[in-house]
Structure 1
């Protein structure tokens, strides 16, 4: 059975200019896949009405068109009028929606000490919907709307990701969306995460196993210095997926660190939590990136005690207890200093497990003996120690980000030993 197709249209000139990254397109696509729709395309378009109309007409060829942005009160917020134009319907003022937006706008006008008259035109604009459109209410002041355009169901939600995601469940409850989703069967997704192997090696392993197809779609993506492999399994094709996964992963099993979509920082924190271990960091060239990734996980405080960003040699000595003679003899960027930093973090932070990072991120500071991109990482805990020396080609931020990822995976491997 062919799955209904979903096209995503993300609007905003700031996205086209590269001033802001798109978060709504990936959210829409992931939700579409989860619900059994087939994500067909994601289009990012600016606020130019000709460009937006063209993209919308193409997207209306899908069974579902998911749109974000362009619902505000200003002159360049044109999404609703253009959706109505492409659908061939008129516009109407939703009085209930107008009253809801007016109440919020009046409170804002009072706080800003501005006359409400300044907001009237914008309120009416935001409360104007395509004929036949179903209002989803508001999350902010911009409304969401679902429109049955015949061969296509159109969902239009606000651009701010938080507002869009709050209104999305309401869109799924509408009759037009329930009707489309009634034609779908949610596929099974198998999520594999690997580290330490190249994308080409993973692709070769898949090809050697016979490749995907026959109800199993495999995507391979290098992301965050890992290889992410997703299997989308159509109903009834579980045995085929089992066989492909077994043959495909045979030569790659040692690189697999996750099968449930969790990030490496989540894996590390859960492993520490399960074993009753506390964790700390000592960072130089990464400047707190490792600690940042760990603390991005809710509940990390149960495991993570803290970190030290020791950039200067004096800080390495004063806060981490790295001996001055060690710094003089080997230099700050060395295996010896990385080991001492990890030991110092364990002692000074009072943690069971610590990881340290010291290196030359560039663009300057390198020498023939210690070039830019040279990084030493050391993980230590009651189960032992794991050092690693890597040379990372590329720009400064690339070196820093890859070093942080490698440090987290080094801790993971230490905890697994």
Structure 2
């Protein structure tokens, strides 16, 4: 073998070593680990042990600092994270992912980096697209753009799992091999909680659901931090070049940078998540804020401006906790009652003095994603107790409940979580 050929093989081995080394230790296969160890033994590489950075706040070790309330403005930013964020935005652009508002591009950049803390702050995001699902020649539903979108955003995570459902046997089998990997599903199949060997060892990460039709998942999942719709400039798969893959140098570069940053900042980011919990606003459910804290922590370590932008986005998406139960019910009734009245009119049933059976009402409300456990209490707040209306609830009084709904941002954020 010539010297030139030896050099080429050595260069290829170095690239392969760097790519495997970029994979988090807990996600490497036995093949990856053996290759790394053999390469390091051959080349005499000894890994430096770097202590975690814990100085998230100034004077972190002082007793006085421990007693001081957490102040996000005192958190030091990390230039490596800003460099990573800038590169992620450039890769998004290369993938043809153009957002109508830069805050959405920023969100997905930060959220995918936050896959590093999905063990501490797991979260779910859904993104509704206009591109319709269409059957292929075999009658199997497909959505080329949606599948492309889910995969391309997944490439910005430490690792991801492509799927047609949020949960099924194939997803679980991959989760066993890829701890805390982000599930990126183009919702085409119904989730099935099929048992697999090693079920108990599954370590779930974040979840991204791209959907055209309404997915069959739990609408009131408090880890569901954002529901986006109509945020993309275009829903077209770029055809000029082949799509990026896990082996593309752009993707390997992003994942290497994330791993390099995480190796020395794991403790700092985890502590920051704990500190953020102390400033959870009253309008946000604690569990939902915990799910958001991964994005907020990464944003805060990147720049104060990005942190404020993500904080505002969080409030717009999730600030619903302090809304009265009767108001939440009225918002859901505003969706189902007009449809019910239309049904009565179509079938020729008079709506005058019409009573709605409480069981039927419960079923109709469930279709909106309304938290049905609150219904009885909310009806009492509206002076429509089911105990006092055993024959049924007056249709006209159900109509009256949503005559004067609030128009503030918190209410609008809640209303947007309901299925219309």
Shorter-normalised TM range: under 0.3
Higher normalized contact order (CA 8 Å, seq sep 6+, divided by chain length):
2
Larger Rg: 1
- The structure where strand makes up a greater share of residues is 1
Which structure carries more helix by proportion? 2
TM-score between the two structures when normalised by the length of structure 1: 0.25
